[in-house]
Amino acid sequence: MKKKIVITYGTFDVLHYGHINLLKRAKALGEYLIVGISTDEFNALKGKKSFYTFEHRKHLLKSIKYVDKVIPEECWEQKVQDLKKYDVDIFVMGNDWEGKFDFLSEYCEVTYLPRTEGISSTQVRDSLAT
């Protein structure tokens, strides 16, 4: 019997317990969790800069017990290709992206999970800047 495959994407530049909660809940939806991490080049195109390099962020995510595979995210259009390539059953994002990826429901189930209250990468960065 085929494992139920779940995929999510993110930059994961300031890894915090909200990210861990998202990954744990995403993994609970299936048996195998793939995490796409924005490359440094893709972040630059989005106008973002990470403290950690792609390789360091990949290393951090690979060490999390809920994550089975880490792949590079190099462009927005890649998601459809990844859904097909990895035979994904469920695409997961935080609900701050609600509706933005509904078009992927043609390929798999699309689920938006609630964000963890009281924490965000922006909040962490802002508190460190003061």
65 belongs to the catalytic site:
no
CA distance 48 to 38: 10
Residue 32: band (very low, low, confident or very high) from pLDDT cuts 50, 70, 90:
very high
Q: What is residue 70's three-state secondary structure?
A: strand
Q: Which of 4, 46, 49, 100 is catalytic?
A: 46
Residues 6+ apart with CB under 8 A from 97: 112
84 belongs to the catalytic site:
no
Give the global pTM: 0.91
Helix, strand and coil in the chain, % to nearest 5 = 40, 20, 40
Position 120 scores a pLDDT of 67
Q: Which of 3, 4, 48, 84 is catalytic?
A: 48
The percentage of residues in the chain with a pLDDT greater than 70, rounded to a whole number, is 94
